[in-house]
């Protein structure tokens, strides 16, 4: 709201004028016609509201546009990095699983081959334990 608009608002909110107190200012504002004075006040208030709304809208629009632009730029920048990170993690997990399978298969083949040959028991350790 403009400075003059605030002054008018404060003046009207401070006092409660009677109808006879308002008729003379309305005639002055309307160049001798009270109805034109009312129209001028109405149009002034309407323009003041549009001006304030436009300024407020510009600020809000700028903030929203900036936030949206920043978000989109961040997404465009971070999305490929995220995809690369996920692919790397998947390949690491796959390599981990393959190594585990390789270790398991190698150990299971050796253990089953050796267990088929039979175990050689250490008789000295068996006698000492008993």
Nearest to 37 by CA among 27, 47, 48: 27
Do the domain assignments include residue 130?
Answer: no
122 domain residue, yes or no: no
pTM: 0.42
> Does the pLDDT of residue 46 top 90, yes or no?
no
Number of structural domains in the chain = 1
Owning domain of residue 56: 3-117
- Judge whether 111 lies within some domain: yes
Residue 97 placed within a domain:
yes
**pLDDT tens, residue by residue, 70-113:** 988 888 888 899 899 999 999 999 999 999 998 888 888 777 76
Task: Report pLDDT for 89.
Answer: 95
Decide: 1 and 52 in contact? Cβ < 8 Å. yes
Average pLDDT of the segment spanning 117-122: 55
């Amino acid at each position: 709201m403009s400075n003059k608009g605030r002054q008018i608002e404060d003046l009207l909110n401070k006092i409660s004028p009677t109808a006879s107190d308002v008729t003379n200012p309305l005639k002055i504002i309307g160049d001798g016609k009270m109805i034109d004075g009312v129209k001028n006040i109405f149009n002034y208030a309407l323009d003041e509201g549009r001006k304030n709304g436009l300024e407020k809208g510009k600020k809000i629009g700028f903030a929203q546009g900036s936030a949206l632009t920043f978000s989109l730029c961040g997404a465009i920048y971070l999305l490929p990095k995220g995809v690369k990170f996920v692919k790397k993690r998947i390949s690491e997990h796959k390599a981990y699983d393959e190594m585990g399978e390789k270790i398991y298969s190698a150990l299971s083949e050796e253990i089953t081959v050796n267990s088929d040959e039979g175990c050689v028991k250490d008789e000295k350790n068996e006698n000492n334990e008993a």
